[in-house]
């Protein structure tokens, strides 16, 4: 199976709800590197990735990428971190609203 066929197959899984769409950019970036490895390199990567901590496996992928691929990876990582920060800010706002609501109910109950 070619890289293009593999990516198309993954995109089809997204369309059928089997794979989150946000993983496609990572697949497009990582698969060319992984597919260029020998069987030994792939086995070692899988072994590293399945263990804890997994950072060594991640470093292996990045070390074998071209400069352009590394820049693309960095942009994806920044987008993912931005989304995490935004989600965290929303969560904190919800916690603050819940706490203030609880506090207001408590104060009103003391008033009665």
- Predicted TM-score of the model (pTM): 0.56
Pairwise CA distance, residues 42 & 35, whole Å: 9
88 vs 60: which has the higher pLDDT: 88
- Mind listing the pLDDT tens digit for each residue in 3-16? 788 778 878 877 77
Confidence category of residue 44, pLDDT binned at 50, 70, 90: confident
State whether the Cα torsion 81-87-93-95 is positive or negative.
negative
- With pLDDT > 70 as the criterion, what percentage of the chain qualifies? 97
What integer pLDDT is reported at residue 111 of this predicted model? 66
What integer pLDDT is reported at residue 112 of this predicted model? 62
Instruction: Give mean pLDDT, residues 37-63.
Output: 84
Confidence category of residue 76, pLDDT binned at 50, 70, 90: very high
3-6 contact pairs (CB < 8 A, 24+): 3/31, 3/32, 3/35, 6/31, 6/35
Confidence category of residue 80, pLDDT binned at 50, 70, 90: very high
Pairwise CA distance, residues 70 & 38, whole Å: 21
């Amino acid at each position: 199976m070619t890289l293009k066929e593999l990516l198309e197959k993954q995109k089809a899984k997204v369309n059928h709800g089997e794979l989150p769409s946000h993983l496609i950019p990572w697949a497009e970036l990582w698969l060319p590197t992984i597919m260029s490895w020998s069987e030994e390199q792939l086995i070692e990567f899988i072994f590293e990735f399945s263990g804890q901590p997994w950072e060594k496996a991640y470093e292996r992928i990045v070390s074998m990428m071209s400069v352009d691929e590394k820049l693309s990876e960095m942009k994806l990582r920044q987008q993912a971190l931005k989304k995490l920060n935004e989600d965290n800010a929303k969560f904190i706002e919800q916690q603050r609203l819940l706490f203030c609501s609880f506090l207001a109910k408590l104060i009103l109950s003391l008033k009665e």
